[in-house]
Amino acid sequence: KQEVTQIPAALSVPEGENLVLNCSFTDSAIYNLQWFRQDPGKGLTSLLLIQSSQREQTSGRLNASLDKSSGRSTLYIAASQPGDSATYLCAVNTDSWGKLQFGAGTQVVVTP
């Protein structure tokens, strides 16, 4: 059974610092991995989607890497801003139906 773990569970950094969020999964047979952002009481906003054949994806200040063999993905957020404060979730798709398995998330607070 696929298990997805996110470390740390919570993170607080001063504005301007780079953020490093980790996601690990136990079954390397994945179709893709996706990073999401969730603000309190809101739905999920997709940040980056990495297909199993890809090593990384970039969008603006965000960069996500994927190492299938070791079962890891890392989300980097450069030059953090208070607006980056949110919970970040990673999810893997290991099912042909497309079901996602989520990690518990990392709650990020960026202080001004």
Partner 1 sequence: GAVVSQHPSWVICKSGTSVKIECRSLDFQATTMFWYRQFPKQSLMLMATSNEGSKATYEQGVEKDKFLINHASLTLSTLTVTSAHPEDSSFYICSARDLDEGYTFGSGTRLTVV
**Footprint of partner 1 on this chain (CB under 8 A)?**
32, 34, 36, 41-46, 49, 89, 91, 97-100, 102-105
Euclidean distance between CA atoms 16 and 37, whole angstroms? 19
Least gap, CB of 88 to partner 1 (angstroms): 11
Nearer of residues 57 and 80 to partner 1, judged by Cβ = 57
> Strands of 4-7's sheet, edge to edge?
4-7, 19-25, 72-77, 62-67, 56-59
Nearer of residues 10 and 79 to partner 1, judged by Cβ = 10
Least gap, CB of 97 to partner 1 (angstroms): 6
The β-bridge partners of 67 are 72
Nearer of residues 39 and 67 to partner 1, judged by Cβ = 39
Cα–Cα distances (Å) from 103 to 31, 38, 61, 72, 80, in that order, read 16, 13, 22, 12, 22
Nearer of residues 43 and 60 to partner 1, judged by Cβ = 43
Least gap, CB of 16 to partner 1 (angstroms): 27
Please compute, for residue 24, the number of CA atoms within 13 A of its CA located in the half-sphere on the CB side: 6
Least gap, CB of 87 to partner 1 (angstroms): 9
